[in-house]
Amino acid sequence: MKLSPSAWVGFVMLAVYVIVGVLGPIIAPYDLARTHVELAHQFEASSAAHWLGTDASGRDTLSQLLWGARSALELSAIVVAISSVIGLGLGTIAGWFGGWVDELVMRLVDILMAFPGILLNIAIVATVAHPGVGLTIGALCANGWVGYARVARGQVLALRERDYVTAAVALGASNRRVMRRHLIPNLMGPAMVQMSFGLGAVIIVEASLSFLGIGPQVDYTWGAMLDQARNFLWNTSWVRVYAVVPGLAITWVVLGANLLGDGLRDRLDPRQRGKR
């Protein structure tokens, strides 16, 4: 596929994120599950033993970053997968059948859009004292599907007027067949744009939850690292590395996702193409 250079940059950035996320815990210099808290080594500067220094408990920053990549990747991949399947499915059904089905789905979308997303996520996550990964995923999917549903519905409303769809219906194709063979394959393009932007959003929201202390209770997340760092800003200068590095990791993923999303959208929308 022909993509703009900036879209390729975004693609490569996301590829790096996926590779680091998969390999992270394996290539991490320290097994964090086995390291002990050593206050004597608190906030050490960069050294051969700790490339990016250490945190408030004397643990290796680089290792935490790599473990954080794994948890971010797992969570974002699952959330994007679940929300896109639910959203695309509901949106396609709403757009194809119209009538009360459409009305029902769109009113639900209205309700979820009448409220800032992150507050809903917080409300769900805060229901238990120590949210697990499952609850966090559920919270992010609870309103994550809305964007996909809107995209799918809009596409289906346009597609249903196309000749090949009319022809399929005239030939007696069932609703299921039309949706599976003709509608869904043709809305995958815009869906991918939404997935790309969605990925960036998931990373930010998950990190925000961890930052507020209500994130998933897994060992290391970038948001939790940022949360820890801000309490020590007054400390030595090497704290600042700890305060910046996880933020740069988040920036990397979100920037990559936005660049790729922009590029895909420009590619799909010919009206926008000349304007880049």
Does 48 engage in binding with other proteins (CB under 8 A)?
A: no
Cβ closest to other proteins, residue 140 vs residue 184: 140
Rounded CA-CA distance 77/257 in Å is 13
Distances in Å between the Cα of 13 and the Cα atoms of 6, 138, 177, 232, 260 are 10, 27, 37, 30, 9
- Tell me which of 162, 177, 180, 230 binds other proteins, using CB under 8 A: 230
- Tell me which of 151, 254, 260, 264 binds other proteins, using CB under 8 A: 254
Does 128 engage in binding with other proteins (CB under 8 A)?
A: yes
Does 251 engage in binding with other proteins (CB under 8 A)?
A: yes
CB of 233 to other proteins, least distance (A): 5
Beta-carbon contacts of residue 91 (< 8 Å; ≥ 6 apart): 105, 148, 149, 150, 151, 152, 153, 154, 155, 156
- Tell me which of 26, 114, 170, 171 binds other proteins, using CB under 8 A: 114
Does 164 engage in binding with other proteins (CB under 8 A)?
A: no
* Residues engaged in binding other proteins (CB under 8 A): 107-108, 110-111, 113-116, 118-119, 122-124, 126-129, 200, 204, 207-208, 211-212, 214, 223, 226-227, 229-230, 233-234, 240, 243-244, 246-248, 250-251, 254-255, 258-259, 262, 272, 275-276
